[in-house]
A and B are shown apart, each in its own frame.
Chain A
C-alpha cells in the first residue's frame, strides 16, 4: 500500500539531514542526494540563476548545465542522462523568488502529485536551512573581519560570538522539529531563540483558538509578566501587530506604538514602543503569528531582524504543519474514513490487547459481529450516497449504545464489530445485542424518506486469538441471518463447520450450470371446473453429484445472496420456454398451455431483464399471455424504481404477472393495481384451512373475493384433498394445483398427463419456490 504518511516522514528525514549541514554547499549537496533517494530518481540538481550549484547522478563534473537550466526555467521536461537516456524531469522553486530551483529526473516513470508535494516541501526546508546558514556565514565573515582588526572592539566581538551561538540554535530547532519533539517544546524553543536573537523585551507565539477561529491565544511567551499575560492571553484576529499579521498574512511592523492606530490599548497602557509580527502558517494558511515587542524608546527594526523573525516564524509553521499532519496520519491509518470508527486493523489490535488483559484478569469479553440486513438493496435502490449516510448514522447509533471502554469498528461494507470488555455476566453480551437492535429500530431519514434498517448479530466470547474470535462471531452472525432478519445468535461449535459447508455448497453451485446439474420439474395447473390442464409451473431442482437432489430451499436463498440466481434464472427461463414451445406445438394453437416461471427480485433489478424475456419469448414464438412470471409479495414491497420499470415493461410485452404465495406477506391492494397484476396464487397454508370450517376458510375466501373484485385469476396452491377442491370451486376459485392433481414431475410425466389425464392423487405436497 502506498501510505499516506510517506511524504511527511520523508520530509522530516530530509529536514533533519540538511539542518546538520555546516555550509550552504554541503546542505545543497545532501539535499539533492536525499531528494533523489526519496524519489528513487537517478539525478538531481539545484540550479541557481541558471548555474548548477549542486548535482548528483552525473559523472563527476559532467552535469549538463544548459539542459538543467532549461528544465529549471520550465522550458524542458526531459533530461538526457548519460548512461540512461531521456528521463522525465521536474523542477520546483526553493522559494517564491524562484532564483534557486530544485530539479530531479528519473528513468522509470513520471512523478506523481504526492512526489511533487514532497519535492516542494524539501525545497522549502532547504531554503530555510540555507537562510539560516547564510546568516551564519555573514556573521562568520563579519567576525573574521573584526578579529583581523584585532582589538578594535572587544564588546562587539563578544556580541557577535553570542549571536553565532543563537544562529546555531536555529539548526537545533530544525532538528527538534524533525525528531518530532512535542509541539509545545518546539514552540518554546522558537520563542527562546527569537527572544535571544532579536533581544526585545517581549517575544510570543499566538495561535488560533481551535474552539473559536476568530481568536488568537498566546501559546508560548517570554518576557510577559503573569498579570500582562492575564490581560493579553486572548485577542481577536486583526488586533495589534500579532493579529494583523494573521489577518493580512504578512510581516507587520509598528514602530511608534503609542500613537499607532493598530496598537492595542492594553499595550499602550504598558508604554510599549514598538512591535513586529510575522505570520505562522499551517499548511500554507496563516493561523498564528510570532511577535516581538520592545519598551525601548526609538526602537526600530532592521531588515536583518525582520528576516530573522520570518525565519523563526517559518520554523514554527513547519512544526505546526507537521504536528497536524502527524496526528491526522495516525488517525487515518487506523480509522474508517466514512464513519470515523476504528478499522479492522485497530479492532483486531484492541481485541488482542483485551485478550491479553483477560488472560491476566480473567474478566470475560465478547465480540459482536453485526451485519446490516438487505443493505445492498438500500444501496442499489437509493444510491451509494444514501447508503453512506445510513452507515454513518448506524455508526452513531452503535456508539451511543456502548460504554466508553467498548470498541465499535467498521470492518468494511455493511459489517461492523463490537468489542465488549469487563462483562460481569455472560448475558451482558446478549443485552448489548438487544440494545443495538433496539437502537436501529427507529427509521433512518435519508434522501427525503424513511428507511428501515435491521441487523443480524453474531456473538462470540470464548477463544484465544483475536482473528479466531472475530471469525466465530462472523459464523454466528451468519446463522442469525439464516434464521431471519434482525436476530442475534451466540456462537456454538459447529457453526464454523456450517459456514464451511455453505462455502462448499456455494462453490458447487457455481459449477452446477456448466456441469448440467440443474433440471426442471413441472406441476400441472388445472381448471377446477373441468379438471383440464391449462398450464404448468416450472420448478428448478439441483441434482448434486454427491448430495443427491438438493431441495430448492437449500440453494435458492444462497443463489440469491451470491448473485448466482441471475445465471440460474436465465437458465430456467430458457429451458422452460423451450419446453413450453414444444408442448404448445404438439397441442396446437386451439389449446393454449400456460407456462409459469418463478422470478427473484435480483433478476428484476438487473437492467435489461425485460428485454431478455422479450427476446426469449419471441425466439420460441410463445404467445406472451401464456407466459406467467411469478413473483412474491416482498418483491413488490421493495419499492424500487428499477423493479417498477421492469414490471411495466414486461406488462407492455404482454406476459402476465402472478403473485406467488399471496397472503403470507403484507402487500397492499394498491400494489396489485399499480403493478397491474394478473393472477393471485393462494398460499398453501390458506388452502389447508379450506373445508375445515367457516373460520379456517375465511382467509381463502377473502383472497378470492379480492381477486374477483380486481378482475384477477385465482390459482389455489397445494390442493391435496377432494374436499378442498370442492370447497374452493364453491368459493369461486377458478384454478388450482397440488398433489390432488399431481406432484411436480419431469417432462415425460407432463407428456403422459397431457396425453392420458391424471393418475390417482397421492401423498402431500413438497415445498417449492
Chain B
C-alpha cells in the first residue's frame, strides 16, 4: 500500500446559510466517502450548531470529531466569516482518540489533565500530538496547559486554540462527536507514523524604551514607571483622540498595541490589552502582568505580522524531518487579523497556502493560542501557531 493511502488529510468548506447543508457540504469534500479517523470542525457561532453537526456527521459517520466556534475561519482558498471549514484525516498511519471535559472554568487544570489522559490509549505510532480546543472565556488557559502537561510530560507536544464568537466576547462553543458544548475543553490525541511540526511566532516589535511595571495586580496594570498606566500608554503610543475617551475605540486601538513582558534572555511575552479603566487610569490585560517586571509597548504592521507568518510556517515544515506535509492547521490570533485587515488576512492565508505547497490548509481566528513544544509554558497571546501534519 502506498504512503498516500496509509495517511490522508483533506479540507472542505462551505458558506451555505443553512447549517445542516453547510456542514454536509464542507464534510463531503473533506471526507469524500472515505472512512475518516478524525474530523475537525471550525465554524461561525451564527449557525445552529446542532444542525451543523448533523450535516457533518451525515458525511463522516461516527468518525471521532472535535471542533469549535471561531472569530473567522481559514481554509486554502482564503479566510472567511460566517462559514464552516471541515478537516478530515484518515488512513492506517494515523490513530486518534478524542475527549471532552465539561465545566472547565471551575476546574481548568483538571479539565486539561482529563482530556490529555486519552493520549495514554495510543501506543501504536511513534509521533504524537495533542490537539486542544478550549473556551477562551473560561479563565487562565495556562492552567489547562499545565493540567495536560502534568499527564503527558515533555514527550507530547500540545497545540490548538481558544474558540471564538466573532468578537462578541460573550460565549464560545466546543464540539465533540455529536454534542455542542460550552465552557468545555475538547481534545484529539493523534498518533502518526510520520512527524508533526509546530511553528509559533508573534510578529510584534517593541516601541520605545522599556518601562517598569511599578504597580499591578493580576491582569490589571495600575502604574508604569510610577505614572498611571493608561496615561503612559496613550502618550507613548500617541493614541488617537477617540481612543482616549471612548472604550470601544480604545479596544480597537489596543488590539494592535499589546504589552510585551520581559522573560528569560529578553524574549518577550505578549499581553493583549483588552480594555482601559478611564477613571482609575489603568489597563486591563487578558492575562497576568506581574508587578516589578520590565515591559514594553509593542506594535505590529503588515510586514512584521506577515514575516511571522512565514517564519511560523517555515518552523513547522522544518520539523517534518524531510517529509512532505499532508496539510497545515493554523491557529491565528484575532489581533493579528486586526493589524492586517481583510485584504491582509487574504494575503496571509495565501502565504500559508504557498508554504503548504499544494497541501490543504485549515484553521481559525482564535482568542488565544496553544503551542507547547519546548519548556513547559504553552499558552500564547496574539500569536500564530501552525501545525504541519505529514
Contact = CB atoms under 8 A, between A and B. Distances in A.
A59 B152 contact: yes
Contacts of A43: 153-154
A3 B262 contact: yes
Residue among A59, A62, A106, A329 having the largest count of chain B Cβ atoms under 10 Å: A59
B237 interface: no
Contacts of B146: 33
Contacts of B247: none
Contacts of A6: 262-264, 293-294
Given A40-B264, A42-B376, A59-B152, A349 B209 contact: yes
A108 interface: yes
Interface in A631-655: none
A179 B153 contact: no
Given A56-B150, A349-B209, A38 B374 contact: no
Interface in A17-64: 33, 36-44, 56-60, 62
Residue among A2, A44, A82, A329 having the largest count of chain B Cβ atoms under 10 Å: A2
Nearest to A115: B264
B293 A56 contact: no
Residue among A33, A41, A43 having the largest count of chain B Cβ atoms under 10 Å: A33
Contacts, number: 114
Contact of B376 (A2, A41, A345, A348): A41
Interface stretch (A7-15, A88-96, A204-212): A7-15
B155 A59 contact: yes
Interface string B72-85: 00000000000000
Contacts of B322: none
A59 B293 contact: no
A76 interface: no
- How many interface residues does chain A have, given as a range? 35 or more
A579 interface: no
Nearest to A346: B209
A284 interface: no
Contacts of A9: 290-294
Interface string B279-307: 00000000000111110000000000000
Interface in B168-215: 209-210, 212, 214
Contacts of B235: 352, 356
Contacts of A1: 210, 262, 266
A59 to B, nearest CB: 5
Contacts of B210: 1, 3, 333, 345
Given A40-B377, A179-B217, A349-B209, A333 B294 contact: yes
Chain B at the A interface: SS class: mixed
B299 to A, nearest CB: 17
B151 interface: yes
Interface in B252-296: 262-266, 290-294
A326 interface: yes
Given A12-B291, A345-B210, A349-B225, A42 B374 contact: yes
Contacts of B263: 6, 40
A284 B312 CA distance: 45
Contacts of A42: 153-154, 374-376
- How many interface residues does chain B have, given as a range? 20 to 34
A494 interface: no
B154 A8 contact: no
A2 B292 CA distance: 15
Interface string B113-130: 000010010000000000
B149 interface: yes
B156 interface: yes
A88 to B, nearest CB: 13
A31 to B, nearest CB: 13
B151 to A, nearest CB: 5
A8 B376 contact: no
A463 to B, nearest CB: 16
A84 interface: yes
A172 interface: no
B104 to A, nearest CB: 19
Given A3-B294, A349-B225, A84 B154 contact: yes
Contacts of B374: 40, 42, 106-108
Contacts of B154: 42-43, 57-58, 81-84, 107
A352 B265 CA distance: 29
B376 A33 contact: yes
A59 B119 CA distance: 11
A410 to B, nearest CB: 16
6 contacts: A9-B292, A37-B376, A56-B150, A57-B154, A333-B294, A345-B210
Given A13-B290, A36-B375, A345-B210, 10 more contacts: A3-B266, A6-B294, A41-B375, A42-B153, A60-B150, A60-B153, A81-B154, A179-B291, A345-B209, A349-B225
Nearest 9 CB-CB pairings of A with B: A83-B155, A40-B375, A42-B154, A345-B209, A9-B292, A58-B153, A3-B294, A9-B293, A36-B376
Interface of A: 1-3, 5-6, 8-9, 12-13, 33, 36-44, 56-60, 62, 81-84, 106-108, 115, 179-180, 326, 329-330, 333, 345, 348-349, 352, 356
Interface of B: 117, 120, 146, 149-156, 209-210, 212, 214, 217, 225, 235, 262-266, 290-294, 374-377
